[in-house]
Chain A
């Protein structure tokens, strides 16, 4: 076997997060954030499709699913699913734990986050997500830094 058999690796800069979705067991989208352009008309179909797929899977099945030309990493928290679309070469486990980190940040801010918190505070959830992921790349993972802007706003409001 000669070295030429070495598999060509996909360009590393193509690794990125394509979207983040939060959906409940009924398939209702509670949050969606896209980091690549998807026509508005396509989004509903894509979300429905991806969610149906994730919902159909059992607990002992793998949390990474190939879907069309990308991968989906999903994690379930009670009745809420967080689904992240990534390019094929992205590190699945790191995204899987990023999801958990995100949930922990939400938990910290809302003290035990629920689906209702997300619905009624969509703007804040977006602020948190934007602090963590920008443009499809991870920018911050430190919980207190992620929450810094929100804490500042809440202080302003109170005073």
Chain B
């Protein structure tokens, strides 16, 4: 069907396209394409010189093939040749190919630049436009260097054609974005701003994009654009619908230009000049008025164009946030749209109203639409619209309507789409906490949340309800009663069992007076759920049981019976078995007093900000939930948490602190206070570990180094680090245990464990000889000196152990040094210094994320210094499993199905230091053929990217 081709149709191309269209299968299509590629390749390689027409035809075919989704790796040279053609269509195809298929670091750029230079000086406006388009599309550094000084001149020169000016404006914008240092506006500033007055509306349209960008970066230099933009806008808004001829779209004068002008104004605060401001307010009022006028056309294009301007005007009104009258009018207008039959308008109105809700002038006006919004949440057929409705309800929520909104959101949750449930749960939890006036309502809400959407209730949410119950003694009895009732349900969610177990273990006594909830009834109820629960929940329940023994001595026999049975005491899970054994022993041998002290009620949790807010923020990214709003939430959360009115609790807290170290595993998931200790459980930390998912925490006293500080000064300066110290260090980047060093005399083994920003390292010094080492001292410097004594004598063949506690204060590059000195009987003093294998990656917390989250964050970390990249030769096996093991050993999460190329590895993690958290993303691209890797790291801190890149390049 070649006839459809217009103009100087290329017959060969048309035939090829028809062939492709006629292909019956994907395979046939691929076959046809490969045939064509081979044909083109041979034509390009052939001895016969091709004429311009043929080159154009083949390049065009390549473009078409590219569009069908096939990679094109040749033809670039032919495209560049087309640039020097004098025929517009040939030149245009050349430029098109280049802007679609050449990236900015191609080596062809120099050739392309030459062609561009010729076209720019050709004085042929269509050629100039093509050349400018090309610069704007490719925008490489080399192009900026070649043309940045020339473009502004073309842009403002009096004799430049309008269409060239348009292209020049956008071209300059691109160069300014990619190489701002090369684009010096200085002398051109005022003439560029005055393009707003150009009589050609297309020039104004193009120039606004440039001016908007420039005024963001240099607001002061460009502020004259405000009054010019206002007067231009005013002329458009007040023009009759036919005044602007071809720029009128369905009776709306210059809609796109109006939107761009309104957008430019959003870069600045309200105009200070009264006259300008008056004129602008008048414009905005006119726009709002027009929305009420009967439409000039029934066409949807008319109303869409009109409303595009209206929404942009409302954005400006919200941006100014200073004209109560306009804000309320905007709100009323959006209110009308909420019930419009066009889904698009309802969506946009909900979205726009969300920002209006945060203005003090319009917050109340927004609230009047609550019923409509609730209705939207219930009845909208499009999930993205319902999502906007939920966002708006969240934004308009305050103390006055919190109960209604939370109730509606809860009932929506029962049928909500799976994709938005987790976010809804977080929002409900935040609102319930933020606006709780009475805590029984808060407790009810969270328990409802667990009942309705238990799977989506994250740890943060149920940790938080427990924290609040523990900190508020006025709600404890109610909470105990409510969880007891909730647990009666034949099928309850495991999260409910967790909350129930914890709360009854602490406060079951408050409802024990009622025979319907006597201690044994409570215990039997909890235990009836036990067998259906996962290991962590069972562990929690075991802790609740031992608490029961303390609270209610009458349950002791029953509970001991349970603990004693084989399924507990011989449980194949070590954690459960250990708890059963220890709790059984504790309950049998400890006196009532000891038991009471050990199992004291949990002390109030220290005031911390709620982590569920942080989680929501993380989920939505900074754009959706504003940062300031979150601060607001935190403050109110603190208030709820009980602040100073804790009165009677304080004493109890002090008392119990003696035996129960402050809860280490963290309710708020921020950091734990102590590293995981040795395998022995400290009775004092019984319930502390309820929150932690691995092992009991050691009491903080054991971590204290103070008592070990030695006063003996080292007798000799430590030796400089061994030459192989770095190499030894590198062995431990991806593993935690092993032999750090070995020579004929001494072997140093290491076992270490890390958690959050804390670590503990066991060093084993083995004497390989048969004679004693005397005056054995070790010193760790990092960089200040910490001197740790070990047993000064190491017998022949013996091994001594040393424990180091490590806290990562901030990110670091240099590993701490370990100096060891000792003298061997009859030998010289040995003095050697090693690098302790403590590297920044040890403090990684793995982060699982979806592909979209990953790429969003990858993009957010786009500043050049945040990225570190290395291409290096493989030093070790490139086996998949080996690589995976190494990447896991690194401490990050190894994410599957993220990278479109399954050969590549993608990891994510957060480095925990005391002062901050550093997010890191990693991508490792192996090239098995070349035996090479490309490693790319993006971290929120540039020094970390660099350091990790250095460390890791040694590992593969």
Contacts and interface: CB of A to CB of B under 8 A. Distances in A.
Interface of A: 1-13, 15, 28-34, 37, 40-45, 47, 57-58, 60-66, 68-69, 88, 91-94, 96-98, 100-101, 110, 116-117, 119-124, 126-127, 130, 134-135, 137-145, 148-149, 152-154, 156-157
Interface residues of B, number: 99
In the A-B complex, the 8 residue pairs with the smallest Cβ-Cβ separation, listed nearest first, are A93-B308, A94-B308, A137-B209, A13-B213, A61-B382, A134-B170, A142-B246, A7-B626
A153 B88 contact: yes
Contacts of B384: 61-62, 64-66
Contacts of A57: 382
A11 B215 CA distance: 11
A148 B163 contact: yes
B143 to A, nearest CB: 13
A18 B363 CA distance: 34
Which of B249, B311, B855 is the most central at the interface, judged by chain A CB atoms within 10 Å of its CB? B249
B206 A31 contact: no
B7 interface: yes
Contacts of B71: 40-41
A92 B100 CA distance: 25
Contact of A120 (B14, B213, B266): B14
Given A5-B626, A8-B628, A45 B246 contact: no
11 contacts: A1-B360, A31-B67, A58-B381, A62-B385, A69-B852, A93-B348, A97-B256, A97-B301, A117-B4, A120-B4, A123-B60
B936 interface: no
A122 B67 contact: yes
A61 B67 CA distance: 29
Given A137-B206, A139-B169, A149-B163, 10 more contacts: A13-B212, A37-B103, A43-B69, A45-B900, A64-B384, A94-B259, A97-B255, A122-B67, A140-B206, A141-B205
B170 A137 contact: yes
A35 to B, nearest CB: 8
A61 B380 CA distance: 9
A97 B629 contact: no
A93 B21 CA distance: 34
B72 to A, nearest CB: 8
Nearest to A48: B69
B756 interface: no
A36 to B, nearest CB: 10
Interface string B225-242: 000000000000000000
Given A13-B212, A137-B173, A140-B166, A93 B304 contact: yes
Contact of A123 (B89, B385, B900): B89
A16 B6 CA distance: 32
A58 B484 CA distance: 46
Contact of A3 (B9, B321, B343): B321
A114 B4 CA distance: 10
Nearest to A149: B126
A21 B166 CA distance: 23
B104 A142 contact: no
Contacts of B254: 141
Interface in B827-877: 852, 855-856, 859
B136 A12 contact: no
A5 B361 CA distance: 12
Given A7-B629, A123-B60, A15 B263 contact: yes
B95 to A, nearest CB: 9
B344 A63 contact: yes
Contacts of B213: 13
Contacts of B104: 37
Contacts of B363: 1
Given A5-B626, A62-B347, A123-B96, A96 B304 contact: yes
A91 B80 CA distance: 37
A139 to B, nearest CB: 4
Given A69-B856, A137-B173, A145-B246, A122 B64 contact: yes
B8 interface: yes
Which of A7, A116, A137, A157 is the most central at the interface, judged by chain B CB atoms within 10 Å of its CB? A7
Given A29-B67, A37-B104, A93 B321 contact: no
B60 A122 contact: yes
Nearest to A121: B6
B158 interface: no
B68 A134 contact: no
Contacts of B126: 149, 152
B943 to A, nearest CB: 26
Interface string B177-207: 0000000000000000000000001100110
B360 A135 contact: no
B201 A142 contact: yes
A145 B202 contact: yes
Contacts of B2: 120
B21 A97 contact: no
B536 to A, nearest CB: 34
Interface in B107-152: 126, 129, 133, 136-137
B92 A123 contact: yes
Contact of A7 (B64, B67, B308, B355): B355
A29 B88 contact: no
Contact of A12 (B1, B60, B264, B347): B264
Contact of B212 (A1, A12, A42, A130): A12
Contacts of B304: 93, 96-97
A92 B312 contact: no
Nearest to A11: B216
B301 A100 contact: yes
B344 A138 contact: no
Contacts of A98: 256
Contacts of B360: 1-3, 5
B583 to A, nearest CB: 50
Given A44-B69, A93-B308, A140-B205, A135 B137 contact: yes
A26 to B, nearest CB: 11
B1 to A, nearest CB: 7
Given A6-B321, A8-B626, A69 B621 contact: yes
Interface string B479-500: 0000000000000000000000
Nearest to A65: B384
Contact of B216 (A12, A64, A66): A12
B319 interface: yes
Contacts of B136: 134-135
B174 A97 contact: no
A83 B104 CA distance: 25
A71 to B, nearest CB: 10
A45 B71 CA distance: 13
B692 interface: no
A45 B899 CA distance: 11
A30 B7 contact: no
B855 A68 contact: yes
Nearest to A133: B170
Given A8-B626, A93-B348, A97-B308, A157 B206 contact: no
Nearest to A130: B133
Contacts of A144: 246
Contacts of B264: 12
Contacts of A116: 1, 4
A11 B259 CA distance: 15
Contacts of A8: 626-628
Contact of A110 (B1, B6, B21): B6
B247 interface: yes
B509 interface: no
B166 A139 contact: yes
A102 B621 CA distance: 33
A36 B103 CA distance: 11
A152 B359 CA distance: 53
A136 to B, nearest CB: 9
Nearest to B356: A7
Contacts of A94: 255-256, 259, 305, 308, 312
Contact of A68 (B7, B359, B852, B901): B852
Nearest to B268: A12
